[in-house]
């Protein structure tokens, strides 16, 4: 089965035998975008979070057929080293990552949160950011989320 | 869950017992059939609507339940403010329009928690039926609309195709087959949607 | 010890011709330390060190064409930030900017392989001396070469930011190196004074920050190879089950199916893609031989104080007589814990004309290679283990037996094979933190201070049966599980009578190293008990501790840390706004730490609002990353202390997924963490684990003040739920 969608601004058509193949594996192994991580395969840890039409989804539990015609964004398309997304800039400024494995999922979840709630309260963060980080970087993440909100709001004002 | 089933059992046993003792001996043959049939449709329908495949998403505390043990949804998910979850992390972050065999995450169209007016968890079958038929609590539906919802809505009928859990084990389906459930629901409505009197 | 000696001139070896023109490789072999010394090291009595395994000179540095230094690190980066600290040391002693240093994990075929492991929080501490010496020597070599190439006096040359300069002439390091045919190796120059470093001691950003923020493919599971197939491996779910056979229910006709391979205690399906392997796997019915279904009760029967192998790990003064008046005794426990690192284990394995290559997240590249060599009947030289960045280590990557499965699969398939664990496999085949049981006893003297304190503790394997032969050997030689012992001894030397007794039992499944090893549970038991005795004596818990600590050495440093924590955290026995404070301290690998926590209970849930952590880690090479390790230790420690528990259910280890395996999330992390660093030594000391020690006890001590109840069992939230029920 052929499925076409836009990923990080580029049109792609992939061919899979099983239309229920999780989008995660299409992104990682067919499109070779390794920034989206496999953590549990059960939509529990959030390491595979990416955006489909601007909404955060856990791609290990997202059949690729649902992506037909959709706009998909992964961490590679969120921002670049030269032009980072406010979330990435804040993540750098706060030196958030330790092992780094869960971080793309957290950054994607955060970017989606800021789209919905530009100035999230601590409660908003607690409710929406429920990925799992084993190194325990939550403390810095919270600071980074607040900073990212500021950066994003400032850039909108300009 | 067991306690709830046991309560249901006691309730049914009590009803049957009362009927047995109250029936006039002289007219026994004449009056036996109709009320028992009506009651049977109701009870059969309710054996489904009180099943965890239904009640898990009709909670009384805004917290969806999961699994055969109806534990609170992991990771603090709740539908207290919005039955679709939180602003950025919501039902659709994990649940799609179909079950996912790879992850064991269930899915169906319009996957969401029942609105808070439709809380069924902890209610008796009669209370559930009352709630279900009350336009103030059922989203303003007419009895006919309720019937269609119960027998046609994909999210409701998902209960018979609940897929596998995270370990790949099939989820339990309600005690009736889908066909029989649809038949008894329709029969109950056709017979006037009579809710048995509370004890 | 390593720190005092200079690198021997004779043992320097310079090689050319590696890779592109202008690449310079310098290798050295550090002298090996006597086994016993290293054991002592493990047993936390001596400063840590690096223990290189190589008998052949190996690649340490490469100078690349674009005038950067590429450091092949014998230690891996698993989040602890050591690559950044290495870059700081190299930049300072080689006179480079931070952006001129790159760090990668050394491959076993070309690099220096650490004989121990990356673990024990020893990376930065262990390489502190040798790495700076190497870097300084490299700088001298470059200056000397520049001198001979330009015909100038060495004394007239200076090196800065990758250039050697003489007056208005200057040459890049790469330029100099490209003209060298034979290097002359000088004596190691004097290292700089601490205060004159530009990078060391500064909170420079992590060198891997960009890679980790922009999603670069740097982890084990990101590895790939042309033509590779994917493996899903079925291993027993029931503890102790043995593989018998499989029946196909149509696996052959599944999309992408390649082949079924049977192994010693597993059966694998190979397919063109990983999801195809997962689906094909469901078409195998596997039969297992199940000799016994182990239960929680079985474990509790085996593992308790008074059962298993007894060893006194500390003895001072006389033993307590239980019947004596005034003796207080309390029992504590901690459950089995999973590593639950987010990157599942796995490996990419392939054969080519050079032999076998295995790419994976490992804390023990050298041991991985040795095990592959034994299992595959190949010489170590034919095997290259390529360690990547680790998506979490925490001790889980000390066991890399899956590398063998990957290699066997690659051999059977005749193709490169990538094997990734499912999450269930990860949870059921973890090398768990063992459950522990503790009895702590004590007695006050007439002044109300501790006169006696005894810690009797039972634990499953930590270092015993470890893949790390040295740890295993040490356990045998010392008769003690030195991992389970971490934090188990009484650190208050002013208590006239104190002792610690270990009861060690090997469980029917693997238990092993989990960040900080025995420290968390042992500290929980001892420090909860000490707190209870302070309450009994009606004394301030801070003063109750410092009163029984000497002023010298380790004890003096601990005393300072305790006093400092009480001051910075403004510890008070009284509480306001429904919040109480808890105090606890620990000592691990020569590093004292103390926490003050502020806790409340909201709707039955333990909420930790603020943690103040004081740590004496000696020289903080990167203070920001030391802080990050403290924050991480606190949050990971909270997760284990409050929520986590593995159990046996119908013979299987359970749970097998996040969620049911309850862990700390964003909402549980303290809103405020204050880290205060004390420099009580002139070398860097371990930081990745010591600050995890006090957290469980500190929280329990706060709960005691809030509720009057003493929590004695980890996970504390479960313990509180039971008390409130």
Please provide the average confidence, as pLDDT, over all residues in chain C. Answer: 89
pLDDT of B34 above 90:
no
How confident is the model at residue C186, as a pLDDT? 79
pLDDT of residue C124: 87
Is the same domain home to A72 and A93?
no
Residue at which a domain ends, from A30, A54, A78: A78
Which residue is listed with tokens 């398309």?
A: A77
Determine the Cα–Cα distance for residues C588 and C690; give it in Å rounded to an integer: 5
pLDDT at C46 over 70: no
What's the pLDDT score for residue C29? 26
What integer pLDDT is reported at residue A77 of this predicted model?
98
Instruction: Answer yes or no: is pLDDT of C92 > 80.
Output: yes
Do C278 and C232 contact (CB within 8 A), yes or no? yes
Q: Are A61 and B102 in contact (CB under 8 A)?
A: yes
What average pLDDT does chain A have? Answer: 97
Check C671 against A122: CB less than 8 A apart. yes
Question: Which among B101, B102, B167 is the nearest to C656, CB-wise?
Answer: B167
Task: Determine, for residues A112 and B75 on separate chains, whether the beta-carbon distance falls below 8 Å.
Answer: no
Which is higher by pLDDT, C178 or C3? C178
Q: Which of A48, A101, A106, A124 to mutate to test the interface with C (most CBs of C within 10 A)?
A: A101
What's the CATH number of domain C297-337+431-724, 3.30.365.10, 3.90.1150.10, 3.20.20.140, 3.40.250.10? 3.30.365.10
What pLDDT is stored for residue C55 in this prediction? 34
Say whether C342 and A99 touch across the interface (CB within 8 A): yes
Residue A105 has a pLDDT of: 98
Worst-scoring range by mean pLDDT, C50-54, C154-158, C442-446? Answer: C50-54
Q: What is the pLDDT of residue C87?
A: 98
Residue of C254, C256, C234 lying closest to C245 (CA atoms): C234
- Position B59 scores a pLDDT of 96
Q: Which fold has domain C2-213?
A: Aldehyde Oxidoreductase; domain 4 (3.30.365)
From the list B148, B125, B100, the residue with the least C-alpha distance to B195 is: B125
> Are A98 and A51 contained in the same domain?
no
Strand order of the β-sheet with C25-28 is: C12-15, C25-28, C61-63, C69-73, C101-105
Q: Does C275 touch chain B (CB under 8 A)?
A: yes
Task: Please indicate whether, in this complex, the C-beta atoms of C639 and A104 are within 8 angstroms of each other.
Answer: no
Inter-chain CB proximity C213 and A101 less than 8 Å? no
B100 in reach of chain A (CB within 8 A): yes
Chain C partners within 8 Å of B101 (Cβ): 279
Find residues 653-682 of chain C whose CB sits inside 8 Å of chain B: 656-660, 665, 667
Same domain? For A13 and A68 the reply is yes
Q: Is the Cβ pair C660, B74 closer than 8 Å?
A: yes
Peptide bond into C168 cis (omega under 30): no
- Is the model's pLDDT at C37 over the cut of 90? no
Could you tell me the residue ranges of all domains in chain C? 2-213, 220-291+345-420, 297-337+431-724
Return the pLDDT at C481.
86
Q: Looking at the structure, do residues A63 and A19 belong to the same domain, yes or no?
A: yes
Q: Which residue has the tokens 């195709």?
A: B161
pLDDT digits (tens, 9 = 90+) for C199-232: 999 999 999 999 999 999 999 999 999 999 999 9
The CATH number assigned to the domain holding A54 equals: 3.10.20.30
Predicted local distance difference test score (pLDDT) of residue C181: 74
Q: How far apart are CA A149 and CA A110, in angstroms?
A: 9
pLDDT digits (tens, 9 = 90+) for C653-683: 999 999 999 999 999 999 999 999 999 999 9
**Ranges assigned E (strand) in C193-266:** 229-234, 242-248, 257-262
Predicted pLDDT of residue B152: 97
Give the integer Cα–Cα distance in Å for A130 and C668: 11
Which residues, 6+ apart, have CB-to-CB distance to B22 below 8 Å? none
Residues 99-118 of A with CB under 8 A from B: 109, 112-113, 115-117
* pLDDT exceeds cutoff 50 at C449: yes
Mutate: best of A16, A23, A42, partner B, most B CBs <10 A: A42
Final residue before a domain boundary, out of A18, A46, A78:
A78
> Contact C657/A44, CB-based, under 8 Å?
yes
pLDDT at A68: 98
Residue range C686-708: average pLDDT?
A: 97
Q: Do residues A92 and A135 share a domain?
A: yes
DSSP state of C116: S
Contact A41 C422 (CB under 8 A): yes
Instruction: Report residue C560 as tokens.
Output: 């300072």
Mean pLDDT, residues C369-391 = 96
Q: Which pLDDT band holds residue B36 (cuts at 50, 70, 90)?
A: low
Question: Which residue of A41, A57, A127 is in closest CB contact with B102?
Answer: A41
User: Chain C contacts of B166, Cβ < 8 Å?
Assistant: 656-657
Q: Based on the domain organization, do A73 and A16 belong to the same domain?
A: yes
Judge whether residue C358 has pLDDT over 90.
yes
pLDDT of the residue at B7: 46
Interface residue A66 vs chain C (CB under 8 A): no
**How would residue C469 be classed by pLDDT, with cut points 50, 70 and 90?**
low
Confidence of residue A28 (pLDDT cuts 50, 70, 90): very high
Poorest-confidence range of C66-70, C488-492, C696-700?
C66-70
Query: Which among C215, C663, C665 is the nearest to A75, CB-wise?
Result: C215
Four-residue CA torsion sign, B151, B154, B156, B160: positive
Residues A92 and A29 in one domain: no
Is it the case that residue C4 has pLDDT exceeding 50? no
Q: How far apart are CA C334 and CA C712, in angstroms?
A: 9
Q: Is the pLDDT of residue B11 over 70?
A: no
C297-323: per-residue pLDDT in tens? 999 999 999 999 999 989 999 999 999
Same fold, C220-291+345-420 and C297-337+431-724: yes
Q: Which residues of C touch A142 (CB under 8 A)?
A: 666, 669, 671
Q: pLDDT (tens digit, 9 = 90+) per residue, C125-165?
A: 888 988 898 889 889 989 999 999 999 999 999 999 999 99
* Yes or no, beta carbons of A113 and B88 under 8 Å apart: yes
Q: Which of C540, C522, C595 is nearest to C705 (CA)?
A: C540
| Mean pLDDT, range C225-246, rounded to an integer | 98
Q: How far is C428 from chain A (nearest CA, A)?
A: 13
Mean pLDDT value across chain B = 86
Q: Point out which residues pair with C311 in neighbouring strands.
A: C502
Q: Between C42 and B45, whose confidence is greater?
A: B45
Domain final residue, candidates A60, A78, A96: A78
Mutate to test the interface with B, among C657, C661, C662 (most CBs of B within 10 A): C657
B-contacting residues in C 411-450 (Cβ below 8 Å): 424
Check residue C662 and give its pLDDT.
98
* pLDDT at res. C45: 37
Is the pLDDT confidence value at C20 over 90?
A: no
B9: confidence class by pLDDT, cuts 50, 70, 90: very low
With an 8 Å Cβ cutoff, are B104 and A42 in contact? Answer: yes
- A41/B103 Cβ within 8 A: yes
Task: List chain A residues with CB under 8 Å of B89.
Answer: 56, 109, 113, 127-130
Nearest chain C CA: its distance from A115 CA (Å): 19
Overall number of domains in chain A: 2
User: C441 CB contacts (<8 Å, ≥6 apart)?
Assistant: C320, C322, C327, C328, C329, C452, C453, C454, C456
Q: Which of A86-95, B33-42, B167-176 has the lowest mean pLDDT?
A: B33-42
Count of other CB atoms within 10 angstroms of residue C178: 16
Q: Which residue of B has its CA nearest to C664?
A: B75
Confidence of residue C187 (pLDDT cuts 50, 70, 90): confident
- Note which residues in 96-115 of chain B have CB less than 8 A from chain C: 101-102
Minimal-distance CA residue of chain B relative to A23 = B102
Q: Are strands C61-63 and C25-28 parallel, antiparallel or unpaired?
A: antiparallel
Q: Can you give the pLDDT at residue C70? A: 87
Distance CA A3, CA C169 (A): 61
Phi, psi torsion values for C86, nearest 5 degrees: -60, -45
Q: Please report which confidence band the pLDDT of residue C116 belongs to, taking 50, 70 and 90 as the band edges.
A: low
Containing structural domain, residue A17: 2-78
- For residue C623, what is the enclosing H or E element? helix C623-642
Contact B93 A55 (CB under 8 A): yes
Between B88-102, C115-129, C431-445, the lowest mean confidence (pLDDT) is in C115-129
Q: Average of pLDDT values for C47-58?
A: 40
- Please check the confidence at residue C572 and state whether its pLDDT lies above 70: yes
Residue C24: pLDDT above 70? no
By CA distance, what is C657's nearest residue in B?
B166
* pLDDT over 70, % of chain A: 99
Neighbours of C603 (CB within 10 A): 5
| Predicted confidence (pLDDT) per residue in B129-180, tens digit | 999 999 999 999 999 999 999 999 999 999 999 999 999 999 999 999 999 9
Q: What mean pLDDT do residues C591-604 have?
A: 97
CB contact under 8 A, A22 and B103: yes
Per mean pLDDT, which range of A65-69, C45-49, C256-260, C394-398 is the poorest?
C45-49
Residues in A touching B108 (Cβ below 8 Å): none
Q: Which fold has domain C220-291+345-420?
A: Aldehyde Oxidoreductase; domain 4 (3.30.365)
C-beta of residue C286 within 8 angstroms of C-beta of residue C427: no
Domain coordinates in residue numbering, chain B:
52-190
Q: What percent of chain C has pLDDT over 90?
A: 78
Residues in A touching B88 (Cβ below 8 Å): 55-56, 109, 112-113, 115-117, 128
Residue C174 confidence class, pLDDT cut points 50, 70, 90? confident
Do residues A62 and A125 share a domain?
Answer: no
Question: What are the percentages of helix, strand and coil residues in chain B, rounded to 5?
Answer: 50, 5, 45
Q: Mean pLDDT across the stretch A141-158?
A: 91
**Mean pLDDT, residues B43-69:** 96
CATH number at residue A109: 1.10.150.120
Distance (Å) from the C-alpha of residue C659 to the closest C-alpha of chain B?
5
């Amino acid at each position: 089965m052929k499925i076409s969608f836009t990923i990080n601004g580029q049109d792609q058509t992939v061919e899979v035998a099983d239309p229920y193949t999780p989008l995660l594996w299409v992104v990682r192994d067919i499109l070779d975008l390794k920034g989206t991580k496999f953590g549990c395969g059960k939509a529990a840890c959030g390491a595979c979070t990416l955006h489909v039409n601007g909404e955060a989804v856990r791609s290990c539990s997202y059949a690729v057929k649902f992506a037909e015609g959709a706009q998909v964004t992964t961490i590679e398309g969120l921002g670049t080293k030269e032009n980072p997304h406010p979330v990435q800039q804040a993540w750098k400024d706060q030196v958030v990552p330790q092992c780094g494995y869960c971080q793309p999922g957290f950054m994607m979840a955060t970017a989606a949160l800021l789209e919905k709630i530009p100035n999230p309260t601590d409660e908003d963060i607690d409710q929406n950011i429920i990925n799992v980080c084993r190194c325990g970087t939550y403390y810095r993440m919270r600071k980074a989320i607040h900073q990212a909100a500021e950066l994003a709001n400032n850039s909108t004002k300009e | 869950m067991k306690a709830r089933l046991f309560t249901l059992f006691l309730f049914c046993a009590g009803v049957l017992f009362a009927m047995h003792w109250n029936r006039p001996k002289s007219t026994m043959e004449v009056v036996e059939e109709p009320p028992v049939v009506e009651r049977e449709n109701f009870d059969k329908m309710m054996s489904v609507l009180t099943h965890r495949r239904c009640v898990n998403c009709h909670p009384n505390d805004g917290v969806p339940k999961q699994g055969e043990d109806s534990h609170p949804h992991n990771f603090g998910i709740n539908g207290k403010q919005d039955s679709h979850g939180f602003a950025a992390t919501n039902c659709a972050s994990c649940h799609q329009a179909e079950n996912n065999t790879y992850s064991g995450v269930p899915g169906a169209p319009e996957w969401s928690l029942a609105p808070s007016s439709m809380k069924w968890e902890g209610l008796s079958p009669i209370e559930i039926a009352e709630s279900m038929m009350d336009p103030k609590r059922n989203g303003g539906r007419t009895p006919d609309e309720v019937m269609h919802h119960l027998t046609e809505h994909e999210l409701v009928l998902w209960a018979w195709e609940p897929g596998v859990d995270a370990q790949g084990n099939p989820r339990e389906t309600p005690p009736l087959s889908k066909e029989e459930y649809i038949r008894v629901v329709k029969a109950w409505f056709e017979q006037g949607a009579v809710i048995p009197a509370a004890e | 010890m390593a720190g005092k000696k200079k690198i021997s001139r004779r043992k320097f070896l310079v090689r050319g011709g590696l890779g592109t023109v202008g690449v310079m490789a310098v290798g050295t072999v550090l002298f090996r330390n006597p086994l016993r010394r290293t054991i002592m090291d493990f047993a936390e009595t001596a400063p840590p060190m690096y223990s290189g395994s190589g008998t052949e000179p190996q690649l340490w540095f490469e100078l690349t064409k674009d005038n950067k230094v590429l450091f092949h690190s014998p230690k891996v980066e698993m989040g602890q930030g050591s690559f950044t600290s290495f870059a700081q040391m190299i930049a300072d002693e080689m006179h480079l900017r931070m952006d001129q240093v790159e760090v990668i994990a050394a491959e076993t075929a070309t690099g220096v392989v650490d004989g121990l492991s990356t673990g024990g929080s020893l990376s930065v501490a262990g390489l502190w001396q040798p790495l700076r010496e190497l870097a300084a020597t490299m700088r001298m070599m470059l200056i000397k070469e520049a001198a001979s190439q330009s015909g100038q006096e060495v004394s007239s040359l200076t090196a800065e930011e990758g250039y050697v300069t003489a007056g208005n002439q200057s040459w890049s390091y790469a330029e100099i190196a490209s003209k060298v045919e034979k290097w002359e190796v000088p004596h190691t120059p004097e290292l700089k004074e601490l205060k004159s470093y530009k990078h060391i001691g500064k909170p420079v950003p992590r060198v891997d920050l960009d890679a980790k923020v922009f999603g670069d493919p740097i982890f084990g599971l990101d590895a790939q190879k042309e033509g590779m197939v994917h493996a899903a491996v079925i291993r027993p779910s029931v503890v102790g089950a043995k593989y018998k056979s499989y029946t196909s229910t149509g696996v052959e006709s599944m999309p992408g199916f390649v082949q079924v391979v049977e192994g010693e205690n597993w059966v694998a399906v190979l397919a063109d893609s990983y999801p195809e392997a997962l689906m094909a796997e469901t078409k195998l019915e596997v039969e297992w031989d199940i000799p016994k279904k182990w239960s929680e009760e079985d474990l509790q029967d085996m593992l308790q104080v008074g059962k298993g192998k007894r060893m006194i790990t500390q003895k001072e003064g006389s033993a307590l007589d239980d019947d004596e008046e005034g003796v207080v005794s309390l029992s504590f426990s901690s459950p089995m814990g999973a590593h639950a690192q987010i990157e599942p284990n796995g490996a990419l394995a392939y054969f080519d004309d050079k032999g076998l290559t295995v790419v994976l997240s490992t804390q023990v590249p050298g041991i991985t290679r040795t095990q592959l060599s034994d299992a595959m009947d190949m010489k170590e030289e034919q095997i290259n283990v390529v360690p990547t960045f680790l998506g979490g280590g925490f001790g889980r990557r000390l066991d890399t037996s899956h590398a063998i499965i990957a290699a066997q699969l690659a051999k059977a398939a005749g193709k490169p094979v990538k094997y990734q664990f499912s999450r269930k496999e990860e949870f059921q085949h973890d090398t768990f933190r063992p459950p522990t049981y503790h009895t702590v006893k004590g007695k006050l003297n007439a002044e109300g201070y501790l006169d006696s304190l005894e810690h009797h503790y039972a634990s499953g394997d930590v270092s015993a049966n470890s893949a790390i032969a040295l740890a295993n050997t040490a356990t045998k030689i010392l008769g003690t599980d030195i991992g389970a012992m971490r934090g188990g001894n009484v650190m208050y030397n002013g208590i006239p009578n104190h002792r610690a007794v270990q009861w060690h039992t090997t469980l029917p499944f693997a238990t092993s190293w989990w960040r900080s090893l025995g420290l968390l549970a042992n500290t929980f038991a001892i420090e909860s008990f000490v707190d209870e005795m302070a309450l009994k004596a009606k004394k301030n818990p801070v003063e109750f501790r410092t009163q029984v600590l000497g002023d010298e050495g380790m004890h003096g440093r601990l005393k300072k840390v305790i006093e400092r924590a009480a001051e910075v955290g403004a510890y008070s026995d009284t509480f306001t706004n429904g919040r109480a404070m808890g105090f606890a301290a620990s000592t691990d690998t020569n590093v004292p730490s103390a926490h003050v926590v502020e806790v409340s209970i909201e709707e039955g849930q333990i909420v930790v609002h603020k943690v103040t952590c004081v740590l004496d880690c000696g020289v903080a090479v990167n203070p920001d990353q030391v802080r990050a390790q403290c924050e991480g230790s606190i949050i990971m420690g909270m997760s284990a202390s409050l929520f986590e528990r593995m159990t046996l259910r119908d013979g299987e280890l359970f749970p097998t997924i996040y969620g049911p395996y309850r862990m700390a999330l964003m909402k549980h992390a303290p809103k405020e963490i204050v880290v205060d660093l004390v420099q009580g030594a002139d070398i860097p000391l371990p930081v990745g684990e010591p600050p995890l020690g006090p957290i469980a006890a500190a929280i329990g001590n706060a709960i005691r003040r809030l509720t009057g109840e003493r929590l004695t069992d980890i996970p504390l939230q479960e313990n509180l739920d039971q008390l409130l029920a």
